[in-house]
Structure 1
Amino acid sequence: MKNKPFWLFAALALFIISLAYGYTKLIVPKKETADAVQCHETPNIGSPSTFQPTIENKHKPAGKAPKGMVWIPGGEFSMGSSAEDESLCSIKGVTKDAAPIHRVYVDGYYMDESEVTNEEFEKFVKATGYVTVAEQKPTKEEFPDASEEDLITGSAVFTPASSAVNLNNFLQWWRYEPGADWRHPEGPQSTIKGKGNYPVVHVVYEDAAAYAKWAGKRLPTEAEWEFAARGGKTGNLYVWGNDLKPKGKFQANIYQGHFPIKDRDTGEDGFKGIAPTKQYAPNGYGLYDMAGNVWEWVNDWYSIDYYRTLAESGKTAKNPQGPDAYYDPSDPTQIKRVHRGGSFLCTDQYCTRYMVGTRGKGEIRSAANHVGFRCVKDK
């Protein structure tokens, strides 16, 4: 059996390239060298005057919030990012899908205080018998050109390179791993035993939506996710403020060190790789891990020009549900929805999508070991 079925890995590659890194062709070092790209921690940002004050709703429902959830008041805010680059050696343009800043209003709602965990997802699976997409054998109908021996279950797993590599070839640190799924995040020999409080990974959009429906919840819209992540603050670069490391301390599980070399993740934030939930201070609404750790599915289709469409209307968008169709000119055949928040692999060398207003995207039936989700519930 082939270890890396080409047809399947190619499909996953499209997903990986669009998850966080956007326009990879823009991230080519000036010199063809195996040295790491050296970048600064703080990206270039536009004028803060593009952000107008957040106006929170005053109403709060009576009674306690559902277990494990917090009340998000909703209201009107400025959505998007004024970052001109991702600290990728000041290469401009890679965050353009998060511009321009535009006004949005959302109603109040409840939100999971952390990402859905292995323990919570396991309860869902035991109650329903649900089988995730990563656990399902691909079919000839879905991949007519694949040979039978290549139709095997699996998912994408981050695999550090043995030495320094150019960052314009992501295939050097990702592999398609047969048998990788939410129960076996690194492959069939791995386990989640003792990791019930870690975020569940290797879930695709329909897996997340199925869990949300079973739990009596739903996936958040992109606008709801960003309103909640901002925690009532206006225009901050990060969930916690404008300094990546207040008082020299990391506030999220992201990557430090020489990316993506094996054993070169320094773990200055306290973790090398994925972390349990709730390891850092919550934001202003009591939400944990709204930056880093794992990417989070939201309900919106991904469209590169959606924000511009909203801004050009000249109106405050009320409870926007995302575009009517997906649109990514760099990858037009792949059906994508939005991801938010970044992951433990985000780094100032390659991807700083832990910046609160920036966006990710993913093919809806592709999974990886740095993608999870959280849910919301209407009042």
Structure 2
Amino acid sequence: MKNTEVRGCCAASRGESIKKSDPVRMPFRTTGRTNPQEDMILIKGGKFLMGTQEKAGFPEDGEGPIRNIKVNSFYIDPHTVTNGSFARFVEETGYRTEAEQYGWSFVFYKLVSETTAKKVKQKVAQTPWWLVVEGATWDQPEGPDSNIADRMDHPVIHVSWNDAMAYCEWAGKRLPTEAEWEYAARGGLEQKTYPWGNELTPEGKHQCNIWQGDFPKENTEEDGYVGTAPAASFPPNGYGLYNMAGNVWEWCSDWFATNIHKRGGKDNPTGAETGTNKVMRGGSYLCHDSYCNRYRVAARTANSPDSSTGNIGFRCVMDV
């Protein structure tokens, strides 16, 4: 049975745990990119049917009703920002993420070592599989005894919405609106459940990195991964975009609202004017049909702008 009350498998929020200290925003210098749209994919603008009313959806998340939306043309990264790209950003700017400033971030319990697990002092009460790990950061994803040496092509994680915005500023890009994200994720298909169609595993082949097995106890790893997969893994959608379902949640620019279809507009909508949480799209490696079936194209969730976890990343877009 789906649990529609708790979204803890989606991504934990800093609001669910005691902060160790208030982070101080650190200024950083921007160098700019000489050719920021290089390697990006041009998505030609048009109209599409946004949202869903299918039975597998979550109406309380504001997935519906289906509405006709128009977006202008834009460039989008073919995959999420990788550890390698984020490392260059940090090297050039000296930027410190909010996870580094807080001194901790959320990590899924099965990914930490026994040594780190013994040092954990806090868990999220409703979803105890989320551990508050001291020293968990983008370059130490599972805590101080981990590193990203063999994961430079994986999505950067433990990045907050604020961190993603800082990267975008440096790269001369921006975060996608929720409408742009869904338009791109659909890959030219209309009202399909996933970026590739309606069947989760066509011809028995896995198309994305999500949980298989009994969440949160056992992951059978049938898709080949227990944590993140490389950012450009699995077949791309019709627009050449990788991992628009599963792997890591992706930050969007919009404030989250469940009734945005009533007041968000239909021409290049940018979301609610104010709010407390930012939209996230795409699902992650922790999503499973039995608990958090939010790796569907129309699915959505939200988190506070300062939150970071081991399953949240982002990709960038640019205006044409």
TM-score, normalization: structure 1? 0.71
- Aligned equivalent of 1:123: 88
- Aligned equivalent of 2:68: 103
- Aligned equivalent of 1:338: 279
Larger radius of gyration: 1
In 1: Cα distance, 2:315 partner to 2:95 partner: 18
In 1: Cα distance, 2:199 partner to 2:45 partner: 25
In 1: Cα distance, 2:295 partner to 2:38 partner: 27
8 A contact 2:11–2:311 mirrored in 1: no
Secondary structure of 2:303's aligned partner: strand
Structure 1 vs Structure 2: percent identity of aligned residues?
Answer: 46
Q: CA deviation at 1:183?
A: 0.7
- Aligned equivalent of 2:32: none
Which one-letter code corresponds to 1:239 in the other structure?
P
Which one-letter code corresponds to 1:66 in the other structure?
Q
Q: CA deviation at 1:20?
A: 6.0
RMSD value, Cα: 2.4
Instruction: Identify which of 143, 155, 161 aligns with 2:105.
Output: 155
- Aligned equivalent of 2:295: 354
> Unmatched 5+ residue regions in structure 2?
13-34, 112-124
Which one-letter code corresponds to 1:337 in the other structure?
K
Alignment partner of 1:136 is 2:101? yes
Instruction: Identify which of 258, 265, 269 aligns with 1:320.
Output: 269
Secondary structure of 1:125's aligned partner: helix
Alpha carbons of 1:319 and 1:81: their partners in 2 closer, same or farther (altered >3 Å)?
same
> Unmatched 5+ residue regions in structure 1?
1-13, 22-63, 87-92, 138-152, 162-168, 311-315, 327-334
In 1: Cα distance, 2:89 partner to 2:36 partner: 21
Instruction: Identify which of 233, 238, 245 aligns with 1:284.
Output: 238
8 A contact 2:9–2:287 mirrored in 1: no
- Aligned equivalent of 2:120: none
Secondary structure of 2:214's aligned partner: coil
Alpha carbons of 1:317 and 1:287: their partners in 2 closer, same or farther (altered >3 Å)?
same
Instruction: Identify which of 249, 256, 261 aligns with 2:212.
Output: 256
1:215-271 CA deviation, whole Å, 9 max, x = no partner? 01000000000000001110001111000110011100000011111xx21111121
Which one-letter code corresponds to 1:336 in the other structure?
N
Q: CA deviation at 1:349?
A: 1.3
8 A contact 1:18–1:361 mirrored in 2: no
Which one-letter code corresponds to 2:48 in the other structure?
F
- Aligned equivalent of 1:271: 225
Alpha carbons of 1:237 and 1:16: their partners in 2 closer, same or farther (altered >3 Å)?
closer
Alpha carbons of 1:184 and 1:213: their partners in 2 closer, same or farther (altered >3 Å)?
same
TM-score, normalization: structure 2? 0.83
Alpha carbons of 1:190 and 1:16: their partners in 2 closer, same or farther (altered >3 Å)?
farther
Mapping for residues 177-188 of structure 1, pairs under 5 Å: 177-188=133-144
- Aligned equivalent of 2:17: none
Q: CA deviation at 1:275?
A: 0.8
Mapping for residues 361-376 of structure 1, pairs under 5 Å: 361-376=302-317
Q: CA deviation at 1:123?
A: 0.3
Alpha carbons of 1:15 and 1:190: their partners in 2 closer, same or farther (altered >3 Å)?
farther
8 A contact 2:9–2:286 mirrored in 1: no
1:95-150 CA deviation, whole Å, 9 max, x = no partner? 5411111111010011000000000000000011100000014xxxxxxxxxxxxx
8 A contact 2:255–2:278 mirrored in 1: yes
8 A contact 1:15–1:366 mirrored in 2: no
Q: CA deviation at 1:308?
A: 3.5
In 2: Cα distance, 1:249 partner to 1:95 partner: 31
* Aligned residue-pair number: 283
Alignment partner of 1:67 is 2:38? yes
- Aligned equivalent of 2:27: none
Which one-letter code corresponds to 2:81 in the other structure?
V
Secondary structure of 1:267's aligned partner: coil
1:309-349 CA deviation, whole Å, 9 max, x = no partner? 34xxxxx71111111122xxxxxxxx200000000000011
In 1: Cα distance, 2:126 partner to 2:229 partner: 23
Instruction: Identify which of 135, 156, 171 aligns with 1:200.
Output: 156
In 1: Cα distance, 2:81 partner to 2:6 partner: 22
1:273-332 CA deviation, whole Å, 9 max, x = no partner? 21111111110100001000000000000011112334xxxxx71111111122xxxxxx
Alpha carbons of 1:103 and 1:97: their partners in 2 closer, same or farther (altered >3 Å)?
same
Which one-letter code corresponds to 2:258 in the other structure?
I
8 A contact 2:246–2:285 mirrored in 1: yes
Q: CA deviation at 1:66?
A: 2.9
Alpha carbons of 1:219 and 1:289: their partners in 2 closer, same or farther (altered >3 Å)?
same
In 1: Cα distance, 2:308 partner to 2:7 partner: 9
Q: CA deviation at 1:202?
A: 0.3
In 1: Cα distance, 2:231 partner to 2:107 partner: 20
In 1: Cα distance, 2:202 partner to 2:36 partner: 31
Which one-letter code corresponds to 2:159 in the other structure?
V
